[in-house]
Structure 1
Amino acid sequence: MRRDRILLHVYCRQTYKGGGINRMKRHLEGIKGDIGSCKKVSHDVRYQMLEYLKGFELKKKAEKQRQEEMFSVPSTNSDLQEDDDVQEVFSSGLPKKPVLGKRKGTKLVDNYFAPRTTPRAQHGLKSVFQSKENVRQANMAIARWMYNNCIPFNAVNLVYYQRMIDAIATACPGYKGPSYNAVWVPLLRDQKKEDQLLVDSQRRHWAEVGCTLMADGWTDTRHRSLINFLVYCPRGMVFVKSVDASEIVKSSRNLFKLFDEVVTWVGPKNIVHMVTDNASNYVFAGKLLCEKYKTISWSPCAAHCLNLVLQDMGDMPHVDRLKKRPSKVTVFIYNHVALIAWLRNRPSWTDIVCARATRFATTFLSFGSLHVHKHDLQALVTSKFFVDNRLARESKAKEVVSIILDNSFWDDTNVLVKISSPLIRLLQIVDSDQRPAIGYVYKGMHRALLGIKKIFRMRKHLYKPYTSIMKNHWDKHLRKDLHAAAYWLNLAFQYDEENFCWKPIVNMAVLDYIGNKYDGDQENVIKGTQYFRDRIGSFDRDLALSTSKTTHPDEWWKLWGC
């Protein structure tokens, strides 16, 4: 009751006394009768209340039917409502009788406990006395259904898997699964309504905090050029639509019209940033879009740019020659069961073949994976087991042994691992969904450039071939005022006085971005950034400074931003 009164206060600013939780939810859902309907409640809340009342009525009917089947007498308590002064308590094998419960409008006691199927939850009596064979049969039925329909095993890790099991476990004993027609038509229609309500709630959030529009172009197995449009905000990511752009992908003007159509649907004032591929036609279309909408910033995909940097480094002549040698070692080892079995008995051994996170970074990931096993491989080729084996006399084995025992090969591999490590770490950050990455791109590139220079002890003729590749992609595509402003506003860097970049170009990027992209009270925003920089007002609190090292920038600004 208390929670629903708060909802009434928020939406229609009225307070109702008396009645129970169902009366309040009828008010929110809009059912006329003993209480008026709320005119200001949002669509998603109204839909949730409607679904709750539907479920409550179905539960009452199923309980009444079960009682009649058990005792062959009509229920005398069917007129009791959830908001009465008594609650009905059932025990298996005994008639139901009303007992004293909570006051009106309070939730059932069971609602304060975790579901029985959650880990470490308290088990019910029925589950305690349940036969292990029955549980095994249920598990086998689920597994058999997955095997026969070729459902991937990782489907059990999805969030809706256990929710489905919970719903089935709480249904009546005679529950029958939905039919083909039910799944195809009414349930799909209901799911579409729920998804639409979710998108509508997200759109209201876009208007409050802004969002990022992403256009992801790719080619399918039928060689069609497809573009997926997605919108990201702190609450999550929403898929907008997928467009077959096979006929228009080569035209920048047509791409601009397509982008403009999606921007109009999302709302130009809601979009802060747009991200696309860095192909020339996408670049030009992005510039046209920014010229039309002054408040939108465009930049290419940071992950794609880093992949191209690693690709260009992998195509360098000496790297191209070197990457063929680890491939020979890996193929030879994994083609002989006896050799890989000997290596797996080593306590520190892990597989050499690395996961293909990206097709461009795989070369450098392979270098790193092989370098970790340097001593294991050298121990193998010098062991009595290998020397006495007939494989050691083969020509391929001799070539592999020469590679493994070549110290210059390991030295070159070590240099490439050190060069690529900061780029791969940055790639993992920008390609992750765990936190917003835009505030780390500027600093990540700066650290990578400085790290490469230190590897070669600041000798320009040695590090320039690598840094020139990075600067080419960074200066040409990825260096934007938006990235510099995000770096400046990232509290993890701003409050690190020893390592923060105080170059005038960073401060100018912040001022230029506010002056060119923000259409509100610019003086007030600049004043707020000065407070943030100088730690004035709410920014000087000890709690604000301590949480700056443990909180993501977007969450921190919600708490302490002005």
Structure 2
Amino acid sequence: MSFFGLKMASKGARNDPAWDHSEEVQVPGEGAKKGYKYLKCNYCSKVIKGGVKRMKEHLAGSRKDAAPCVNVPDIVKEEMKQYLKAYQDQKFTKQLNFEENVGCGSYHMSNSNNNVMGANSSPSVSTKGVRGPIDHYMEIPLDDDQGTVAVEKMTPAKAKEHRNRVCLDIGRCFYENGMPFNIASSPAFVNMVRSIGNYGRDLKPPSAHELGTWILKEEVKTTTTFVDDIKATWKQTGVSLLSDGWSDIRNRSLINFLVNNQYGTVFLKTVDASDCIKNAQKLFELLDGVIEEIGEDIVIQVITDNASAYKAAGTLLMEKRKHLYWTPCAAHCIDLMLEKIGGLPQNKNALLKAKKVSNFIHNHQWVLSLARKFAKKDLLRPAATRFATAFLTLQSMYELKQPLQQMFVSTEWSNCAWAKKSDGIAVKKIVMDEVYFWPSVVYSMKTTKPLVHVLRLVDGEKEPAMAYIYGAMDECKEKIAKNFDGDVGSYKEIWDIIDEKWENQMHRDLHAAAYFLNPRYRWSPDVSRHPEIKMGLYRCMERLLDQETNEKVDSQLDEFKYKRGLFGYNAALTSYLKRPPVEWWDNFGESVPELMMFATKILGLTCSASACERNWSTFNQVHTKRRNRLTTSKMNSLVYIMYNKKLKRKFVSKKKLGEDDDPLIVEELPSDDEWLADPSIEDDENSEEVGMDEVATEVGTSASSSSKRRKGVQLNLVDEDDELDGQTEDDDDLGLC
């Protein structure tokens, strides 16, 4: 059939457009996987595993399931993009039509005089009543008098009744097993419910034995498939080894190891490091062993937090491994900057008062409902780090200043019991304070908003952050200065905090090299000419390249600097501000192949180990008392599946973020978070909502991972120096950057 003018492949035929640009090859020996097709690209000779779909992704340069082809003609690339888009549109349309026709499953029956479906009989159940092909082989109840299919007319009221019955059964499963409510929003839960509905009636659920045997093995295979696809790109791109330490519910010091490149993050393993977490030599030996497993030739950098033991271990690592870097986690360093800025008297005062307002509102259900009525949205902005939550919530509170003030002068508030109590009076006084509180909030926003923007950059995965971190830190300081109208006395203290962390802890040669190689900065009239940039570039070249390649890259730099060769073409000159730097180099760097390879490896690096921090709870969820009878291999398989599935979902969701989406924002905070819970506040109202965390605590079952995450780690960040010693109009009015 044709679709938007493109030919679509029929099963068993080779009329897919991918065949015009590739050929099937046989992979000899143990390298071949049973059931896989191996296609060789006609342009770059790369062999793609998996079939025509991945070959089209390869030719289109989508970076979704295969590395992009560097030699594909633009016309072919565009054809593949159109084909993939048409395919997705068609797939969406089919799914939409299916959902419209399915109705309410096997409860929907059509009038028919046919007997039970046989080999030569027509269907006696309408397609609207069939969830899946299994129903063709199941007995359908017949009317005793006529010998026909029993009919149950499904009205909207009846459909609602049946749905409620199903939901009650699902709810009982949650309640009786202490399952956190947020599981209901998991994609895996949604897929499970859909699959059960598609099957039809009389599904025999899997047994505990099946879950621990063939089902687990199949899911390991599925997980390994996409993990292997990412691993296949490691040699081409180089990788970052991510490491992060945490404490579990048994107070063991554990370290998660992950590997990241521009195609995604892969969980490697979790190690019990209780005996070496503060021993630099043992940490070095541990990191060195993991590098040996991966391969030194593909590891470009090792990212850890900034604790003194890790810093010393990183120094030892760079002394032994001459062709890689140790770098501290940028998100950790920026959070330390925010912590120190938040400790300044004016900011500290604003945060304490804002926290009091937030605690009061969120600890009293009636007050929370009233606040939502006036504000039309939530006050709290739960974020990925503690101090990001603090300053984003402060910003949200300022955006909702007018509705909050209107609430506290409303008739509803004046007539409620809280208006007469000391807590209510104190919170109203804060919200109505135009002399001290709100000016301190504005000051906090001026000092931290640009820095939170940088944290958002390094914490997201929409693009590799290495290409932007150096320029973003420079721009951050300039925006803070602009927020204070260039008054040095007002912003100097903030700059000093940022400079101290940047110069002594955060800045590395890789940051400078990426700044030089990013055309957005290099070709900008405002490009920094600081000597440390070129020095950092050449130190990177000497460390990461052999002598011969180093000389070639050095000789090719002028082509890039002065826009010669392909860099001088109009396509290159008009796209460098629009395309991601790695993609831009892939398209226009072919005339300088050694420089292109070096640039794409540097610009494709991450700056943060935040992928580790998002998954502290995964190990805990598997290694609970309720699962202590599992074999070690099964526990490792569970961690492997859970961790890598989470990483994949996170990577895909970050890639889909729109311009208005914030990668720092998380779905919810644990119920004991400092912005939600205040031990001094007691609510004598009956709350309308009950969480499974509270129920689990009472009955002794496992609590949700979200509550354990912060209980399992210290909220205060570890700094090496410390160890050794919504609405935008208001922002525009303030002139904030």
Note whether the superposition's TM-score is higher than 0.5.
Answer: yes
Whole-angstrom CA distance in 1 between matches of 2:470 and 2:336: 17
- Which residue is equivalent to 1:367? 394
1:501 lines up with 2:478 in the alignment: no
- Which residue is equivalent to 1:11? 25
Q: CA deviation at 1:552?
A: 2.2
1:131-175 deviation digits (Å, cap 9, x = unpaired): 757898589658734650455565566555566577667779876
TM-score w.r.t. length of structure 2: 0.57
- Which residue is equivalent to 1:128? 128
Whole-angstrom CA distance in 2 between matches of 1:406 and 1:199: 55
Q: 1:375 to 1:195 in 2, by over 3 A?
A: closer
- Which residue is equivalent to 1:144? 169
- Which residue is equivalent to 2:280? 252
* Equivalent pair of 2:347/2:443 in contact (CA under 8 Å): no
Q: 1:115 to 1:321 in 2, by over 3 A?
A: closer
- Which residue is equivalent to 1:114? 91
Whole-angstrom CA distance in 2 between matches of 1:111 and 1:386: 52
* Equivalent pair of 1:378/1:405 in contact (CA under 8 Å): no
**What letter matches 2:234 in structure 1?**
W
**What letter matches 1:376 in structure 2?**
P
Give 3-state SS (helix, strand or coil) of 2:270's partner. strand
Give 3-state SS (helix, strand or coil) of 1:411's partner. helix
Which one has more relative contact order, counting CA pairs under 8 Å at least 6 apart? Answer: 2
- Which residue is equivalent to 2:382? 355
Alignment of 1:263-412 (within 5 A): 263-334=291-362, 340-346=368-374, 349-383=376-410, 386=413, 392=419, 394-403=421-430, 404-412=432-440
Structure 1: segments with no counterpart, 5+ residues: 13-37, 51-109
Q: CA deviation at 1:364?
A: 1.9
Q: 1:170 to 1:374 in 2, by over 3 A?
A: closer
**What letter matches 2:255 in structure 1?**
I
Whole-angstrom CA distance in 2 between matches of 1:210 and 1:412: 46
Q: 1:516 to 1:129 in 2, by over 3 A?
A: closer
Task: Report the aligned-residue RMSD.
Answer: 3.7
Q: CA deviation at 1:201?
A: 4.1
Among residues 227, 251, 256, which one is paired with 1:223 in the alignment?
A: 251
- Which residue is equivalent to 1:39? 28
**What letter matches 2:277 in structure 1?**
V
- Which residue is equivalent to 1:515? 542
- Which residue is equivalent to 2:553? 525
* Equivalent pair of 2:350/2:444 in contact (CA under 8 Å): no
Q: 1:505 to 1:180 in 2, by over 3 A?
A: same
Whole-angstrom CA distance in 2 between matches of 1:468 and 1:356: 26
1:293-345 deviation digits (Å, cap 9, x = unpaired): 12211111111111111111122233323322223333444556665555444
- Which residue is equivalent to 2:482? 454
Q: CA deviation at 1:409?
A: 2.3
Alignment of 1:189-228 (within 5 A): 189-228=217-256
* Equivalent pair of 1:11/1:40 in contact (CA under 8 Å): no
Q: 1:530 to 1:336 in 2, by over 3 A?
A: same
Pairs aligned (count): 475
Q: CA deviation at 1:431?
A: 1.2
- Greater shift in the superposed pair: 221-230 or 113-122: 113-122
Q: CA deviation at 1:249?
A: 0.9
* Equivalent pair of 1:146/1:152 in contact (CA under 8 Å): no
* Equivalent pair of 1:419/1:451 in contact (CA under 8 Å): no
Alignment of 1:424-439 (within 5 A): 424-439=452-467
Whole-angstrom CA distance in 2 between matches of 1:374 and 1:196: 50
Whole-angstrom CA distance in 2 between matches of 1:382 and 1:190: 61
Seq. identity, %: 29
TM-score w.r.t. length of structure 1: 0.74
Q: 1:164 to 1:280 in 2, by over 3 A?
A: same
Q: 1:469 to 1:121 in 2, by over 3 A?
A: same
Q: 1:154 to 1:547 in 2, by over 3 A?
A: farther
**What letter matches 1:39 in structure 2?**
P
1:485 lines up with 2:474 in the alignment: no
Q: 1:394 to 1:174 in 2, by over 3 A?
A: closer
Q: CA deviation at 1:207?
A: 1.2
- Greater shift in the superposed pair: 300-309 or 289-298: 289-298
Alignment of 1:169-180 (within 5 A): 176-180=204-208
Q: 1:332 to 1:229 in 2, by over 3 A?
A: closer
Q: CA deviation at 1:464?
A: 2.3
Q: 1:392 to 1:525 in 2, by over 3 A?
A: same
1:336-357 deviation digits (Å, cap 9, x = unpaired): 66655554443x5433233243
Q: CA deviation at 1:192?
A: 3.2
Q: 1:190 to 1:415 in 2, by over 3 A?
A: same
Q: CA deviation at 1:271?
A: 0.7
- Greater shift in the superposed pair: 169-178 or 194-203: 169-178
Give 3-state SS (helix, strand or coil) of 2:233's partner. helix
1:545 lines up with 2:573 in the alignment: yes
Q: 1:341 to 1:246 in 2, by over 3 A?
A: closer
Q: 1:6 to 1:340 in 2, by over 3 A?
A: closer
* Equivalent pair of 2:467/2:515 in contact (CA under 8 Å): yes
Give 3-state SS (helix, strand or coil) of 2:91's partner. coil
* Equivalent pair of 2:340/2:497 in contact (CA under 8 Å): yes
**What letter matches 1:360 in structure 2?**
F
Structure 2: segments with no counterpart, 5+ residues: 1-12, 39-86, 103-124, 131-152, 591-737
Whole-angstrom CA distance in 2 between matches of 1:430 and 1:307: 11
Whole-angstrom CA distance in 2 between matches of 1:555 and 1:140: 52
Whole-angstrom CA distance in 2 between matches of 1:135 and 1:545: 59
Q: 1:118 to 1:492 in 2, by over 3 A?
A: farther
Give 3-state SS (helix, strand or coil) of 2:256's partner. strand
Q: 1:480 to 1:343 in 2, by over 3 A?
A: same
**What letter matches 2:295 in structure 1?**
G
Q: 1:175 to 1:513 in 2, by over 3 A?
A: same
1:414 lines up with 2:439 in the alignment: no
Whole-angstrom CA distance in 2 between matches of 1:169 and 1:115: 19
**What letter matches 2:241 in structure 1?**
L
1:188 lines up with 2:216 in the alignment: yes
**What letter matches 2:25 in structure 1?**
Y
Give 3-state SS (helix, strand or coil) of 2:276's partner. coil
- Greater shift in the superposed pair: 385-394 or 295-304: 385-394
Give 3-state SS (helix, strand or coil) of 2:96's partner. coil
Whole-angstrom CA distance in 2 between matches of 1:480 and 1:369: 34
Give 3-state SS (helix, strand or coil) of 1:269's partner. helix
Whole-angstrom CA distance in 1 between matches of 2:537 and 2:248: 40
1:438-482 deviation digits (Å, cap 9, x = unpaired): 222112211222222233333333322222211121111111110
Whole-angstrom CA distance in 2 between matches of 1:145 and 1:339: 31
Q: 1:230 to 1:332 in 2, by over 3 A?
A: closer
Alignment of 1:18-97 (within 5 A): 39=28, 42-43=31-32, 45-46=33-34, 48=36
- Which residue is equivalent to 1:62? none
Give 3-state SS (helix, strand or coil) of 1:521's partner. helix
Q: CA deviation at 1:385?
A: 5.5
- Kindly report structure 1 stretches of 4+ aligned residues shifted beyond 6 Å: 3-8, 110-113, 133-136, 165-175
- Which residue is equivalent to 2:670? none
Q: CA deviation at 1:117?
A: 7.2
1:96-152 deviation digits (Å, cap 9, x = unpaired): xxxxxxxxxxxxxx9996389733559589533557578985896587346504555
Give 3-state SS (helix, strand or coil) of 1:312's partner. helix
